[in-house]
């Protein structure tokens, strides 16, 4: 059973546009929600993370929006660049499981110049 | 400051063989987690080590085992390899089990 559901599977955006990736979860015990960026042949790199006590977190061009009541969170990439082309994974973690991350299936983002 | 390092980068094994993968955590980190990432999928949790003990385990058979050393480095061992074990094996380290930093992975191919 997929603990974290991610959509879309792939996304094509024009340079300068906004990329939006969505994730949903069921387990209300999750209390930490990171996003990872992965380039081909590399390990996932931690991009940005949020906890459920805030509804939004912004770091540069990357913003996480969090809706606790809907059990959804999303990643927004503003002014998307070709260098942002990668696979993005959302994940969730609950303190009681001592750091185990549950990952979504990933979104392959392509930004056209 | 070196990040998480893994060795080897690539490995080719034959079905039925055994393999050992190695991981050195980021400086200051004491917890190591291992994940398996099949092609086109998200990473799947195998197990986590802290203070040289397996603290948590995912849904993987006993053929998957591990070890953590006093310097916090870790090994992942897989016995009786199956074709389905072909994947990217990722090591992640953390200090407080929350923010996890991944290494580049070891690409294992079983033929």
pLDDT at B90: 98
- When mean pLDDT is compared across A30-39, B51-60, B95-104, the lowest value belongs to B95-104
What is the arithmetic mean of pLDDT over A37-57? 94
Task: Decide if pLDDT at B48 tops 80.
Answer: yes
pLDDT at B12: 98
Task: Decide if pLDDT at A45 tops 90.
Answer: yes
What is the arithmetic mean of pLDDT over A82-100? 87
Residue B63 CA, chain-centre distance (Å), reads 13
Q: pLDDT by residue (tens digit) across A78-90?
A: 999 999 999 999 9
Query: What number of residues does chain B have?
Result: 111
Other CB atoms within 10 A of residue B12 CB: 12
What is the arithmetic mean of pLDDT over B70-75? 97
Percentage of residues in chain A having pLDDT higher than 70 = 96
- When mean pLDDT is compared across A99-113, B60-74, B86-100, the lowest value belongs to B86-100
* CB-CB neighbors (< 8 A) of B4 in chain A: 43
The beta-carbon neighbor of A43 closest among B40, B58, B103 is B103
What is the arithmetic mean of pLDDT over B76-85? 98
pLDDT at A97: 54
> Cα–Cα distances in Å, from B8 out to A8, A41, B65, B86, B90?
33, 14, 17, 15, 12
pLDDT at A36: 97
Confidence label for B10 from pLDDT (cuts 50, 70 and 90): very high
pLDDT at A98: 64
Quickly list DSSP for A56-100.
Answer: EEEETTEEEEEETTTTEEEEEESS--GGG-EEEEEEEB-GGGTT-
Task: Write the CB contacts of B4 (distance below 8 Å, at least 6 apart in sequence).
Answer: A43, B23, B24, B25, B26, B91, B92, B93, B101, B102, B103, B104
d(CA B61, CA B63): 5
On whether any CB of chain B is under 8 Å from the CB of A101, the answer is yes
Quickly list DSSP for B47-76.
Answer: EEEETTEEEEE-S--TTEEEEE-TTS-EEE
Percentage of residues in chain B having pLDDT higher than 90 = 92
pLDDT at B96: 73
* CB-CB neighbors (< 8 A) of B58 in chain A: 100
Residues 21-80 of A with CB under 8 A from B: 32, 34, 36, 41-46, 49
Interface residues on B facing A, Cβ-Cβ cutoff 8 A:
4, 6, 31, 33, 35, 40-45, 48, 50, 55-56, 58, 90, 92, 94, 97-105
């Amino acid at each position: 059973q997929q603990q974290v559901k991610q959509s879309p599977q792939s996304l094509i955006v024009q340079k300068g546009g906004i990329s939006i990736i969505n994730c949903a979860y069921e387990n209300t015990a999750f209390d930490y929600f990171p996003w990872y960026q992965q380039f081909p042949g590399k390990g996932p790199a931690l991009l940005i993370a949020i906890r459920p006590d805030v509804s939004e977190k912004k770091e540069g061009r990357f913003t996480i929006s969090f809706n606790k009541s809907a059990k959804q969170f999303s990643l927004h990439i503003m002014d998307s660049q070709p260098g942002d082309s990668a696979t993005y994974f959302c994940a969730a973690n609950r303190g009681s499981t001592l750091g185990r991350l549950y990952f979504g299936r990933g979104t392959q983002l392509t930004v056209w110049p | 400051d070196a990040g998480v390092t893994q060795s080897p980068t690539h490995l080719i094994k034959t079905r039925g063989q055994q393999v050992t993968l190695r991981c050195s955590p980021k400086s200051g980190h004491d917890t190591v987690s291992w994940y398996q990432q099949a092609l086109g999928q998200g990473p799947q949790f195998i197990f986590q080590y802290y203070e040289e003990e397996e603290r948590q385990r995912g849904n993987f058979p006993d053929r998957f085992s591990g070890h953590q050393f006093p310097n916090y480095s870790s090994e992942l061992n897989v016995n009786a390899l199956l074709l389905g074990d072909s994947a990217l094996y990722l090591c992640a380290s953390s200090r407080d089990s929350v923010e996890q930093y991944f290494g580049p992975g070891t690409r294992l191919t079983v033929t």
